[in-house]
Amino acid sequence: MKEFEHIPVLLNECIEGLNIKENGIYVDGTLGGAGHSFEIATNLKNTGTLIGIDRDEEAIKKAKEQNIEVVLTSGRMPKAMLAIASEANANNYLICGNGAMIYDVNKEEIIYNNYLSKKKLLEIIKICEENSIYYNVYTNDVIVTKSLNYNLLYYQNENLKNPEEKQKNKKIDKLLLSITIHNIPEGAAIGVAFGALALNNSPESVMKALTLAIGIGIQNFPEGLAISFPMLKKGKTKLKSFLIGSLSAIVEPIAAILGALLVIKMQFILPLLLSVAGGAMLYVIIVELIPESMANKKKELMALYTIIGFIIMMILDISLG
């Protein structure tokens, strides 16, 4: 990724045109690399105030590197901002509710509030309802709305997730994708094995095709469980977790049909497809699954389970040909 770079435009002209007062209040609407803001700040005394605004992650990171205090502002409630604040490493204050609240992250309390009065709020709600205007009312930790809007629910749930949970969900999605990709050449291999029977239907060829199908079928069980259990922890119901785990293998019969129909052509590209499938699984295992298992308190037990799983697969591989 290209390193963040910022070159202030017309810097001297801007500073001269502002005619900065030592105790004035100034707002930089696009903080960027803080080039203009830095020059403004050097012309201020301790009684002066400079506010820089930006939403670009790299700009915020660069500002923090220059010891500029970063405070996140949003129309959201405090709880919905905590995950974002953690990701931005802005763990000091949050300006919430479009300025209605200032939240101290470290003390976990609201240190300032200027809420609408109940009377004024009811007047606004009445106007909204009379004109069919959708509205949300935010308090410190509650959203009040006439009807539950899907986008509101989705973004609220996403905001309340902590960074660790979001990272874990990404790992689960990556595992699901890799296993699904992994199943495509496996299905093609079964199709090729049975499709080849049209050319050679000897008992030996039939047995090889059957043992291959049985072997791949058996190893689909732990693969399905490897998806279903994380989905269950992710908050899915038992039925949905089971269906998602099962559907990850739905590509196998489709690939098997293609493999059987294109048996001659598939025989040449099948080794490549199988190597891609194996590589995808190895990547996820080495990068995601092994580090996560080693983070468990019972590391020795995790290592033992890995060895047992490997031995079982080797036994199946040898016994089923």
% of the chain at pLDDT higher than 90: 0
Q: Which amino acid, 77? A: M
63-93 confidence digits (pLDDT tens): 777 777 778 887 777 877 777 777 777 778 8
Q: Check: CB of residue 190 under 8 Å from CB of residue 216.
A: yes
Query: Going by DSSP bridges, is the β-strand pair 109-113/136-138 parallel, antiparallel, or unpaired?
Result: unpaired
> CA-CA distance, 227 to 174, in Å (whole number)?
10
pTM of this prediction?
A: 0.44
How many C-alpha atoms does 112 have within 13 Å on its Cβ side? 10
Q: What is the DSSP string of 39-62?
A: HHHHT--TT-EEEE----HHHHHH
The reported pLDDT for the residue numbered 199 is 74
User: Shortest CA distance to 74 belongs to which of 159, 150, 185?
Assistant: 159
Q: Mean pLDDT over all residues of the chain?
A: 76
Q: What is the pLDDT of residue 1?
A: 44
Which of helix, strand or coil describes residue 24? coil
34 backbone dihedrals φ, ψ, rounded to 5°: 65, 25
- Phi, psi of 51, deg, nearest 5: -115, 120
- CA separation for the pair 42, 53 (Å, rounded): 18
pLDDT confidence bin for 167, thresholds 50/70/90: low
Q: Residue 209: how many CB atoms within 10 A of its CB?
A: 20
Handedness of CA 299, 301, 305, 307 (dihedral sign): positive
Q: CB–CB of 184/255 below 8 Å? A: yes
Measured distance CA(141)–CA(136) in Å, rounded: 13
Give the pLDDT score at 314.
79
Q: Who's near 315: CB < 8 A, 6+ residues apart?
A: none
253/45: higher pLDDT: 253
Q: How confident is the model at residue 34 (pLDDT cuts 50, 70, 90)?
A: low
Q: Whole-angstrom Cα distance, residue 173 to residue 176?
A: 5
Q: CA 100 to CA 88: how far, in whole Å?
A: 22
Between residues 181 and 295, the one the model is more confident about: 181
What are the pLDDT digits (tens) for 246-262?
888 888 888 888 877 77
Least confident among 119-123, 178-182, 291-295: 291-295
Query: What pLDDT does 163 receive?
Result: 57
From CA 197, how far away is CA 310, in angstroms rounded?
31
Has residue 266 got a pLDDT over 60? yes
- pLDDT of 190-200, one tens digit each? 888 888 787 77
What is the average pLDDT across 261-284? 73
| 157 or 119, greater pLDDT | 119
Q: What is the DSSP letter of 143?
A: E
DSSP 159: H
- % residues pLDDT > 70 (the chain): 83
pLDDT, position 159: 56
Higher pLDDT, 154 or 306: 306
Question: What is the distance between the terminal CA atoms of the chain, rounded to a whole angstrom?
Answer: 47
C-alpha dihedral sign at 302, 307, 312, 316? positive
Q: Does pLDDT of 3 surpass 60?
A: no
For residue range 276-309, what is the model confidence (pLDDT) as tens digits?
777 777 777 777 777 777 777 778 888 888 888 7
